[in-house]
Structure 1
Amino acid sequence: MGIVKALEMDGLDCRMLFKQLGLDYDALEDPDARFPQDSMTRLWQRAVELSGNPAIALNMGKVVRPASFHVVGYALMSSRTLVEGFQRLVRYQRIIAESADLSFRQMEGGYGLVLTVHGDHLPPTRQSAEASLACALAMCNWLTGRTLHPMKVLFQGAEPVDLAPYQQAFPAPLVFGAPYDALIFERSDMEAPLPTANEAMAQLHDRFAGEYLARFSESRVTHQTRQVLCRLLPRGEPKRDVVAQTLHLSQRTLQRRLQEEGTSFQSLLDDTRRELAEQYLAQPALTLLEIAYLLGFADPSNFFRAFRRWFDTTPGEYRARSNGQAGQ
C-alpha cells in the first residue's frame, strides 16, 4: 500500500508502527480491507511525531500509481480526458476510502476537485487531506505524461512553517486557511485527450467497478455497526437486537454480515470499547469512573478487568505512562 512506502521514505518501521497502534499490517494486502478514519488519524499523528516531518503525507504523491487504486485506477487510466477520469473517481471513490467525500465541478474559470475528510470521533489530521491532494495531482501527471500546474491548491490547514515541501509537491499558487481542500485546474488541462484512453477498456472497468461498489456498499456493515455502538455505549452496553434494529436488519442478518466481513458483534463491541478507552484516557478531565460508564460498563470493575485484558495494565497506570511520554 502506498502509505507504507510513503512513511518508509522518512525511515519509519511501518510493521512496528502498525503493531503499536493495534492495526493489522497484513490487511494492507487485502484490497477489500478498510481502516477506520480514526485509525488513519492516529497513524498520521504518530508518523509526524516519529519523523519530525509535518509534511510527510506529501510523500504519497511520489509513490502513487494507477494500480494503487485497483480497478478505480484502471478506470481513470482508460478515460478519454481528466474530466471523464475525475467523474469516474467521484463515482467510485468509496471503493478507495469510505471516510472522504469528493466532488468535481466547474469553478473559477477551470475545474475543481474538492475533498472533505470525515473523522469518526477524532478530527481528521491535515495529513489525510494533503496525502489525497498529492495523490490526485500525481495521478494527473502520470496519466497525462507531463507535470500539470494547477491554477491553485487550497488547504484548510494553516500555513506551515516550512513551505518548501508543499511548493515542490504542488507547482501552483498555494492558499492556506481555505474553506475546503481542493485542486483547481485549467480547463485546457482537464479537457485534453489522455494518451492512455481506451473506450472499450473504460466500459469494462466501469462494469467491474460498478459490481465491486455494489458488493462493497452492501457488505460494509462493520463500519455502520461501529458508528451505532459509539452512539449507544454511553447509555449502557448495547444489545445486539437494538443495534440490528437501528440498522434495519434482523439479528441473524447482522451477525451473518459481520461474519462475512471477518468479525462478530462481540469482537466489534470489544474493539470499539478498546479504541475509545485509549481516546478517553488521553483526556485528563475524565475520571476513570466516568470513562467506565461512557464505555457502557454498568460495573467499573468490569471495565478494569477488560482494560487489563486489552493492555496488560490498569487504566491508571496506562494514563500515567502516556502522560509521562507526552511530557518528555
Structure 2
Amino acid sequence: MSERTTSSSWAMGIVKALEMDGLDCRALFKQLGLDFEALDDPDARFPQDSMTRLWQRAVELSGNPAIGLNMGKVVRPASFHVAGYALMSSRTLVEGFQRLVRYQRIIAESADLSFRPLEGGYGLILTVHGDHLPPTRQSAEASLACALALCSWLTGRTLRPVKVLFQGAEPSDLAPYQRAFPAPLVFGAPYDALIFERADMEAPLPTANEAMAQLHDRFAGEYLARFSESRVTHKARQVLCRLLPQGEPKRDVVAQALHLSQRTLQRRLQEEGTSFQSLLEDTRRELAEQYLAQAGMTLLEIAYLLGFADPSNFFRAFRRWFDTTPGEYRARLASQPEPVSGARTPGYTARTP
C-alpha cells in the first residue's frame, strides 16, 4: 500500500520541537509503532499519518496547541534534507524558494507548495494534505515557522513578512504566534502563506555558492528519481510508453505487466492521486509535446505512436489538451525564439503525486 511519507530530516525537526516542551519522543515513537533509531538514517521515511498522530499526541500531552511553532527555533538547512543545502547555496531567496518548491517532495509528500510573485512582493503558499487522516494545523504552522526562521538564518537578520496567513481559526492565545511571526497575522485564510517584500527576496544571500548549488541540484534530482521509481504511477507510465505504439493499452494488460490485479492497480494509482484513465491521458499529452518538437515526425506517425487507431481521434484529443490543432502547435513551436539562458518562468508549483 502506497502512503505519503515524510523524510527523517523533517521528522527529526519535529522531534526537537516536541522535546522543547519536555516530551519523551522515544517513548512516543514506541507508542506509535515508529522506529526512533531510523531518525539517524538520512534516507529513512515515515508515514504521513504517523506524523499526524505524533502531532495530535504531542498537543494532548503538552497542552500546547501552538507547539508546532517550536520548529522555527530548531530549524537548520539540514532539516530540509538536500533541498535545504540547495536553498542555502542559491544566489537569492527567490532562487532558493524556487529550488525548495522543486524538491519539496523530498522533505515531505503531504503538501502542495508554491512560490510566486505578487503585487509588490512574493508569496510562499502552502496547502497541507492528510493521507488517511486529516492534517493537523500544527504541521502547517511548523512549516511556516521553519520557512521564516530559515530566511533569517540564511540572511543573518530578522526577516519581517508583509503578512502571514493561516487556514486555522484564530487561537485563544495569540502570543506564541506574535513571537514567531513579526508581522500582521490573518486567520481563517484559504491557505497558509508567508508574504514577503520583494527586496528581501531578491537580496544576495551571503551563503550563495553557484558550484555547490549545481552539486546539490544533482544530488536532489538523483534522490527524486530514485524516490519516484518506487511509485506505481512511475512504473505504470513506463509500461504505457512501451505499449502505446501497439495501440491503446488496456488496464488489465498494464496490471499484468506490473504483476498486480486490476483492482490493486486502480487502488494504488488512486492512493497516489491519479487513475488509470488520467495517467493514460497525461502520458499521451506529454509524449505528444515531445514528438511534435521533432520536426522529422509526421502527424500520422505521432498519432499511431500515441496508440490512436484513427488519426482523427488524436486530433480531437489534442484539441482538448491544448485548445489548438497539432499543426498549429508545431508551427508555434517553430516560430518561438530559443530561450535565453537562465530565463525562468514566473510561477513555481510543486504538487504531490
Pairwise same-fold verdict (TM > 0.5): yes
Q: CA deviation at 1:219?
A: 2.1
Would you say the 8 A contact 1:101–1:117 is kept in 2? Answer: yes
Matching residue of 2:88: 77
Q: CA deviation at 1:221?
A: 5.5
Which sits farther off after the overlay, 75-84 or 243-252?
243-252
Change beyond 3 A, Cα 1:175–1:287: farther
Change beyond 3 A, Cα 1:5–1:224: farther
Would you say the 8 A contact 1:58–1:130 is kept in 2? Answer: yes
Change beyond 3 A, Cα 1:286–1:2: farther
1 or 2 for the larger relative contact order (CA 8 Å, sep ≥6)? 2
Q: Distance in 2 between matches of 1:322 and 1:37?
A: 31
Would you say the 8 A contact 2:229–2:235 is kept in 1? Answer: no
Would you say the 8 A contact 2:162–2:184 is kept in 1? Answer: yes
Which sits farther off after the overlay, 189-198 or 281-290?
281-290
Q: Match of 1:101, SS?
A: strand
Q: CA deviation at 1:304?
A: 56
Change beyond 3 A, Cα 1:20–1:106: same
Would you say the 8 A contact 2:113–2:125 is kept in 1? Answer: yes
Would you say the 8 A contact 1:114–1:180 is kept in 2? Answer: yes
Q: Distance in 1 between matches of 2:211 and 2:274?
A: 39
Would you say the 8 A contact 2:228–2:234 is kept in 1? Answer: no
Q: CA deviation at 1:38?
A: 1.6
Q: CA deviation at 1:133?
A: 0.5
Q: Match of 1:227, SS?
A: helix
Q: Distance in 2 between matches of 1:252 and 1:223?
A: 18
Would you say the 8 A contact 2:93–2:201 is kept in 1? Answer: yes
Would you say the 8 A contact 1:219–1:257 is kept in 2? Answer: no
Q: Match of 1:127, SS?
A: helix
Change beyond 3 A, Cα 1:183–1:315: closer
Higher fraction of helix: 1
Q: CA deviation at 1:183?
A: 0.4
Change beyond 3 A, Cα 1:153–1:15: same
Q: CA deviation at 1:110?
A: 0.8
For structure 2, list consecutive stretches of 5 or more residues without a partner in the other structure.
1-11, 332-343
Q: Match of 2:170, SS?
A: coil
- 1:117-158 Cα distance to aligned partner (Å, 9 max, x none): 111121101001001001101110111011000000000000
Q: CA deviation at 1:21?
A: 1.4
- 1:189-231 Cα distance to aligned partner (Å, 9 max, x none): 0000000001111111111111111111112569999999999
Which sits farther off after the overlay, 230-239 or 132-141?
230-239
Change beyond 3 A, Cα 1:114–1:224: farther
Q: Distance in 2 between matches of 1:284 and 1:164?
A: 62
Q: CA deviation at 1:34?
A: 2.0
Q: CA deviation at 1:236?
A: 33
Which sits farther off after the overlay, 69-78 or 23-32?
23-32
Q: Match of 2:45, SS?
A: coil
Matching residue of 1:154: 165
Which sits farther off after the overlay, 267-276 or 60-69?
267-276
Change beyond 3 A, Cα 1:34–1:289: farther
Would you say the 8 A contact 1:307–1:314 is kept in 2? Answer: yes
Change beyond 3 A, Cα 1:118–1:259: closer
Q: Distance in 1 between matches of 2:35 and 2:307?
A: 26
Q: CA deviation at 1:241?
A: 10
Which sits farther off after the overlay, 141-150 or 26-35?
26-35
Q: CA deviation at 1:286?
A: 59
For structure 1, list consecutive stretches of 5 or more residues without a partner in the other structure.
none
Change beyond 3 A, Cα 1:197–1:179: same
Matching residue of 1:323: 346
Matching residue of 1:142: 153
Q: Distance in 1 between matches of 2:21 and 2:307?
A: 40
Q: Distance in 1 between matches of 2:279 and 2:329?
A: 22
Matching residue of 1:121: 132
Would you say the 8 A contact 1:37–1:118 is kept in 2? Answer: no
Matched, 1:273 2:284: yes
Would you say the 8 A contact 1:80–1:194 is kept in 2? Answer: yes
- 1:70-124 Cα distance to aligned partner (Å, 9 max, x none): 3111111110000000000000011100111100001142100001111112110
Change beyond 3 A, Cα 1:187–1:262: closer
Would you say the 8 A contact 1:78–1:201 is kept in 2? Answer: yes
Q: CA deviation at 1:235?
A: 33
Change beyond 3 A, Cα 1:246–1:14: farther
Matching residue of 2:259: 248
Change beyond 3 A, Cα 1:91–1:146: same
Q: CA deviation at 1:25?
A: 1.4
Q: Distance in 2 between matches of 1:52 and 1:279?
A: 55
Change beyond 3 A, Cα 1:124–1:269: farther
What TM-score comes out, normalization by structure 1 length?
Answer: 0.69
Q: CA deviation at 1:69?
A: 1.9
What TM-score comes out, normalization by structure 2 length?
Answer: 0.64
Q: Distance in 1 between matches of 2:21 and 2:313?
A: 42
Q: Distance in 2 between matches of 1:127 and 1:283?
A: 49
Q: CA RMSD in A?
A: 16.4
